[in-house]
Chains A and B, each alone.
Chain A
Amino acid sequence: MGAVGLWAGGRRAGVRTSKLSPGLGHLPEKTSPFLRISKESPAHYDALDLPLRKAWLVSMDTSHLAEHVGTAGTLFASVFVVATLSMKTMIPLRVFAILTNFVLIGTAIPNHNYLVILVQTVALGLNGYRLHQMLQLVRDVKKSVSSNLSMEWLKPFMTERKCRAGEVLFYKDEPADSMFYIVSGRYRLVESGIELPIGAIVGEFGMLSPSNVRTQTLECVDSGLILSVTYDQVEQLYVQNPAFGFYFLKLVTARLFENIGRLEQRLEQQTLAVKTA
């Protein structure tokens, strides 16, 4: 990309000089893109004297230098592109992509290749945003593991869905494919009769359970809003980002242990009640 810009820029400047100054016809076609003299009148160049010609030659040398720098930059950028493509996970891939963007912008500036500068700047912004998103995700999951085991960090990746009263979000024994976050409304697990509070996450275990089926039916009692994310999307985050995967597993295991603890407590209470009776 950088190389294409450099040659195109050179050719453009070369055409101008040979047209404007017949005395400089022996100069190579490809000259520096730094030479921007097109606004001057042809008569002005007819009166070019020797020192000016010398100045031209000096700037020619600079242009060759810039050309070499440009070629080296392009080569350098190509190495970065290869390095980016060889990354297996998302965070190093984004880091290398950002470095590549910088190198390509740096290579394009001397050539005034505005299209490359524009495209690479947009790509830089995008890569920067995605990297920030990934790092924030890892940080939030890590924080969640060591604090309240909440899964709110998933919210930026979820899609909004309105639910009407009476609508069933999923049925018992149905293959599970997504998890939900309750934002508003009332929802009831039909088989157990349990009502889920606002802020609850439903269906996170289905993703990791071997049978991968729903254990209860979830019905909307009062209309409201939920956020949903498919297991495929979470799986993508998991595969792209090993740090996220590790903390996600820790989080789900911790939630599972919390559930087991609750069940043990309930069992203990029941046993105690039976003994007292």
Chain B
Amino acid sequence: MADDGILSSLRYLFADFLDEQDTSPPFLPDGLAEEAVPAVSEGIHLLMDYQGATYARLYVDRVKRFIGKIDAAMLGEIARLMADRMAYEDAIRIAQLKLAEYRDSDGQVLSTDIKQFRFDELVDALPEIAAGPILMVLEKFSWEHRRVSIPFSTASRWGLGRLKAEAGLRRWRLFSIRYGQERVWVERWLHMITRGLLKQPQAVSAIIDTATMIKGHGDAYRQGLADWHAIVDGLVKPTLDGVLPLADLAGCIKDAREAAMPDPRQASLKRAIAEIRARAIAAGATAAAG
């Protein structure tokens, strides 16, 4: 009994290093509509595999916020897209997926994938305490945006060992800079949906769907994220704040998304947003004068 106490104390002390977590998945939230059950259930399993039970519980808590406030189809969509975004693609995730592919094939699939990352993208996956000094050095030499090709290989014992080590970094993922950024992004997206429900319910579906703009890793991910912030900062937030009189927010989001090109300067997107804003302000002024 006393041994149990000491052991459990030691396990608690070294929990972060041992990666010993509660392995039982969280229950589906009460009051969840039947239609949304498959999406939420799939999301829980994805996040159990991605990070663990605590992370899956955070997902369930986030889903709970919308139960009873939104229809089942939309809730299912939020659950699906949120699980995708919470299981964001970093080097750790790519190593996890590669290992899973190898294990599922009983060691038959031997392959090498080469992925391109930026230095800062790789370092962001480390805990903040370790990443901070490395980023400082990289910035000093202006190397943070340098690209590096990383092989993810199951073709050799060395490659497999490296994949296991990289996947093992999972236990510190929630302390990483990237996790902090992703957490803020998910909260901002959910906040826009919640406020949309109160101010423009007809635009909620379009706001939910904006999550599909962000995918993958590397340049595609950064472009999607920048475009998303441009649309939310330029159109969604001002409309929900009551600063921009946009009657058809959903239509405007659609137009802006169509204008988004794979261009780091976001020229066409910014132009489209400026035009929409100008039109809305002019219409608002006319309506006020009339």
Contacts and interface: CB of A to CB of B under 8 A. Distances in A.
Interface of A: 166, 168, 171-175, 190, 217
B16 interface: no
B58 A172 contact: no
Contacts of A174: 187
A175 B188 contact: no
Given A168-B184, A173-B62, A174-B187, 16 more contacts: A166-B233, A168-B188, A168-B191, A171-B187, A171-B188, A171-B190, A171-B191, A172-B191, A172-B194, A173-B65, A173-B190, A173-B194, A175-B58, A175-B61, A190-B195, A217-B191
A105 B196 CA distance: 68
Contacts of A217: 191
19 contacts: A166-B233, A168-B184, A168-B188, A168-B191, A171-B187, A171-B188, A171-B190, A171-B191, A172-B191, A172-B194, A173-B62, A173-B65, A173-B190, A173-B194, A174-B187, A175-B58, A175-B61, A190-B195, A217-B191
A217 B198 CA distance: 15
Contacts of B61: 175
A173 B58 CA distance: 11
Interface residues of B, number: 12
Contacts of B188: 168, 171
A175 B184 CA distance: 12
A207 B61 CA distance: 18
A173 B191 CA distance: 9
Most A CB contacts (10 A, CB to CB) among B61, B65, B191 go to B191
Contacts of A166: 233
Contacts of A168: 184, 188, 191
Nearest to B194: A172
Contacts of A172: 191, 194
Most B CB contacts (10 A, CB to CB) among A166, A168, A174, A217 go to A174
A270 B100 CA distance: 62
A171 B65 CA distance: 12
4 closest residue pairs by CB, A with B? A171-B187, A171-B191, A173-B65, A174-B187
Interface in B73-127: none
A173 B233 CA distance: 21
B50 to A, nearest CB: 18
A175 B61 CA distance: 9
Contacts of B184: 168
Nearest to B65: A173
Contacts of B65: 173
B12 to A, nearest CB: 14
Nearest to A174: B187
Nearest to B64: A173
A172 B191 CA distance: 7
A171 B61 CA distance: 14
A172 to B, nearest CB: 7
Most B CB contacts (10 A, CB to CB) among A166, A172, A173, A217 go to A173
